[in-house]
Amino acid sequence: MKASTRSVRGLDWVSLLMADVRDGVGVYLSVFLLTVRDWEPDAIGLVIAAPGLVGILAQPPAGAFIDRTRYKRLLLMAASIIIAGCCLAVILGTGFYPVLLSQLVVGLTQSVYAPCVAAITLGIVGHAALARRIGRNESFNHLGNMLAAIIAGLLGRYVSYEAIFYFSIVQCLLLVAAVLLIRERDIDHELARGAVASEQGASAAGLKELFANRDILMFTVAMALFHLANAALLPLVGQKMGLVDKQNSSLYLSAAIIIAQGVMVFVASFSGRAAEQGRKRVLLLAFLLLPVRALLFAFIDNPYVLTGVQLLDGIGAGIFGVVSILMMADLSQGTGRFNLLQGTVYSAIGLAVALSNVAAGFVVKHYGYQVGFISLAGIALLALGFYQWQVTETKADAGASASGRVVPLYPANPAT
């Protein structure tokens, strides 16, 4: 069975338009609260951490639900509409609690994006074509992030910071239209949950069974450590640049994002191909670059140089976004719990992100930005050592097809 060109194109558009939507304008919120609302760094850290805290609870049940449901497209559309409402709430709510509430809701809704898109992708292309297709998804996502950052930077500089949030609302509505391009009949929902293609009702492993597997447990811990070191870096850099040059802070931050996302477009595509020969060594590079980036942020004050350092983030994040999904697909293959595993791993990541932002905000308030970045660099070194010594290669045979279903990126004879 081959997927239609329309559905494959739909995946491209969903990946492109999902930029910033799943995060509710992401890092711009921290700079908006600092430079426009004059919030303290610790209060900003709490608000930025809120989605991650909610995600800790929401991700596993969301993943389990995605394994069971056939309404994956509807989930994506509903989440996008809710995120649009949360962006509007940030604009209209001037106090701490309205903004905090909006970010708690963001945490609930964004928990469906990553596992849902990955599940739909697996259900359309199968395991054999997954590496390159995930690489393509991530390339389009990073391209979307880059374009969104350009627009957001211009809006923040020449219109207002509030205009960035209105732009995100438009993105949410366009994403709903993009999801409708994906045809329901092209998704094998059994394959999408990590079971054998088209074997309706196949048995599925439980959460306890999944984490009885040491490889899954060590992988999850490594992912959490990576994000514990990484999550607070860009928000802190945005704040640091905002204090140096408040008027141009949105342009500096957008430039940092543009550089990183531009690199990710190419790195993600390369990572998908390179990971066909083995996952671990490709992802190792992302772990190696993380402490280097944190230390550079600690000792550099020039906003132009800080912006350039984001090149390293582009390489690391471009690799991570592709290879981590592939490793989860490898580890869950045959269990029927691909999305439950995704949800649980993302829950652990959410905890790490929340702790990273809260702890970094506290350290920066009491000891300054340099100590904050050095602390994150130390955690990054710990993550690197743990990954190298505890995480095993998940792809034993790079040439073997994990599924009988092979679908090219663009079908030669597309279904109509």
**What's phi and psi for 309, nearest 5 deg?**
-60, -20
**Cα–Cα distance between 46 and 173 in angstroms, integer?**
28
Q: What is the DSSP letter of 186?
A: G
Percentage of the chain surpassing pLDDT 90? Answer: 29
**C-alpha radius of gyration, the chain, whole number:** 20
Residue 60 CB neighbours (<10 A): 22
The three state secondary structure string of 293-339 is: HHHHHHHCCCHHHHHHHHHHHHHHHHHHHHHHHHHHHHHHCCCCCHH
pLDDT at 413 over 60: no
Distance of CA 75 to the CA centre of its chain: 17
Q: Which of 49-63, 73-87, 252-266 has the highest mean pLDDT?
A: 73-87
In whole angstroms, what separates CA 242 from the centre of its chain? 24
The domain 5-193+206-390 is classified under which CATH number: 1.20.1250.20, 3.40.50.300, 3.40.50.2000, 3.50.50.60?
1.20.1250.20
Which tens digits make up the pLDDT trace of 353-411?
888 988 998 899 888 899 999 999 999 999 999 999 999 888 766 444 434 343 444 44
Q: How far is CA 288 from CA 252, 278, 292, 312, 328, in A?
A: 25, 17, 7, 10, 21
pLDDT at 250: 67
- Say which residue the tokens 């389990």 belong to: 64
pLDDT of res. 48: 81
Q: What percent of the chain has pLDDT over 70?
A: 88
pLDDT at residue 18, as a whole number? 85
Return the H-helix or E-strand segment holding 369.
helix 369-390
What confidence tens digit (pLDDT) does each residue in 297-332 have? 999 888 888 888 888 988 998 999 899 999 998 888
- pLDDT score, position 372: 92
Alpha carbons 142 and 394: distance in angstroms, whole number: 25
Nearest to 345, CA basis, from 230, 217, 233, 229: 217
Q: What confidence tens digit (pLDDT) does each residue in 196-240 have?
A: 555 554 455 566 777 778 899 999 999 999 999 999 998 888 788
User: Of 323, 407, 333, whose CA–CA distance to 121 is shortest?
Assistant: 407
Rounded to whole angstroms, how far apart are CA atoms 184 and 192? 12
Domain residue limits, the chain = 5-193+206-390
Q: What are the structure tokens assigned to 247, written together?
A: 């008027």
Cα–Cα distance, 38 to 121 (Å, whole number): 42
* C-beta separation of 119 from 248 below 8 A: no
Number of Cα atoms under 13 Å in the Cβ half of residue 145? 30
